[in-house]
Amino acid sequence: MNKKKLLEQFLDYLKYQRNYSDYTILNYEKDLHEYFNYIEKEALELNNIEYNDIRFYLRYLKEDKKEKNSTICRHLSALKTFYNYLLTKEVINNNPFIYINGPKREKRLPRYFEYNELEELFKIPDLKTALGQRNRLILEMLYATGVRVGELVNIKVKNINKEERTIIILGKGNKERIVHYGEYAEEILNKYLEEGYQELNRNNLDYLFLNKQHNKLTERGVRVILDSIIKQTNLSKHISPHMLRHTFATHLLNEGCDILSVQKLLGHESISATGIYTHVTTQHLKNVYYDKFPRAKMK
């Protein structure tokens, strides 16, 4: 059984059929290399793994590799998905990972930006340049729509309805959804399409976000851009595309949006995935309580 060939085919399947992000695919690839090294060291066969083998592997990740529970869960997710793929390709007869539960994840509250911090970020890109217009639009779109970075870089100009201020997004599992954007994002979008986009799109591509080589912007490119922007501010926070997604969801909830609507806007299949954002609104609820409840404060 050629593990290298199977891995290449599996990664292509994730990218082109399941529409996984480049970031997730890279992590899955690293996790599977770790697993392959382990079973080779332990003289185990890929298609002959048993329950106890998996338990020993998870213990190896925890005790020998000192991995966090969240990382071990990601390893397990990668392996479940990989073995399901092998099952559909009839390389194996059953998936031994299907009944394995990972360790309890550490509870980590989503990090997000306050309104004033966002304003500081938005002021950094130079709107007199094509790249500055593009970078400002990246910030506005990530915050205005809550899209994932993989969804952002795959936006095509033809998928934008300027009259309705909506965009058709291709999400996880190749599922489409419609996201909305407001007047601030509309203003910079129009400026970019009329000016910067014309300068960057020398190769006549369909994609909205392009790099200085006039090719499609990558997920890694977006992360580099965001890192560069925050270094030019006085903010001490780390920045990532997902942090702006967290900010989008948190601000909606803080302004009274119901969680089911936030779930739909984020493209979450399960309401439990959206539930993490209710924790970060605790301070907001406390402020509402003391402001609105008649016997919260003595007059």
Q: What is the pLDDT of residue 108?
A: 67
Residue 222 near residue 210 (C-beta atoms within 8 A): no
- Residue 132: is its pLDDT beyond 90? yes
The catalytic residues are: 148, 172, 242, 245, 268, 277
Nearest to 96 by CA among 62, 49, 60: 49
Task: Round to whole Å and give the CA distance between 260 and 204.
Answer: 39
267 in the Ramachandran plot: left (φ > 0), alpha (ψ -120 to 50) or beta?
left
Question: In the structure, what pLDDT confidence band is assigned to residue 260 with cuts at 50, 70 and 90?
Answer: confident
Average pLDDT over residues 110-115: 86
Task: Round to whole Å and give the CA distance between 165 and 287.
Answer: 33
Confirm or reject CATH 1.10.443.10 for domain 115-287, answering yes or no: yes
Q: What is the pLDDT of residue 298?
A: 64
Residue 139 near residue 228 (C-beta atoms within 8 A): no
Average pLDDT, the chain: 89
Q: Higher-confidence residue: 286 or 139?
A: 139
Structure-token pair, residue 267: 């493209």
Q: What is the pLDDT of residue 263?
A: 87
- Residue 147: is its pLDDT beyond 90? yes
**How does 153-188 read in b/e, with b if 16+ C-beta sit within 10 Å?**
bbbeeebbeeeebebebbbbeeeeeebebeeebeeb
**170 pairs with which residues across the strands?**
176
Structure-token pair, residue 238: 């780390």
**How does 112-143 read in b/e, with b if 16+ C-beta sit within 10 Å?**
bbeeebbebbeebbeeeebbebbbbbbbbbbb
What SS3 class is residue 227?
helix
Q: What is the pLDDT of residue 236?
A: 87
Structure-token pair, residue 106: 């550490």
216 in the Ramachandran plot: left (φ > 0), alpha (ψ -120 to 50) or beta?
beta
Query: 214-237 pLDDT, tens per residue?
Result: 999 999 999 999 999 999 999 988
Query: 187-208 pLDDT, tens per residue?
Result: 999 999 999 999 999 999 999 9
146 in the Ramachandran plot: left (φ > 0), alpha (ψ -120 to 50) or beta?
left
CB hemisphere CA count around 245 (13 angstroms) = 18
Average pLDDT over residues 107-121: 85
- Residue 120: is its pLDDT beyond 60? yes
Structure-token pair, residue 272: 């439990």
Q: What is the pLDDT of residue 121?
A: 95
Domain 3-88 is of which CATH architecture?
Orthogonal Bundle (1.10)
Residue 217 near residue 200 (C-beta atoms within 8 A): no
Which residues does 241 contact at the CB level (< 8 Å), separation at least 6?
142, 148, 149, 152, 219, 222, 223, 226
Amino acid at 70: S
Question: In the structure, what pLDDT confidence band is assigned to residue 155 with cuts at 50, 70 and 90?
Answer: very high
Average pLDDT over residues 157-168: 95
Ranges of each domain in the chain: 3-88, 115-287
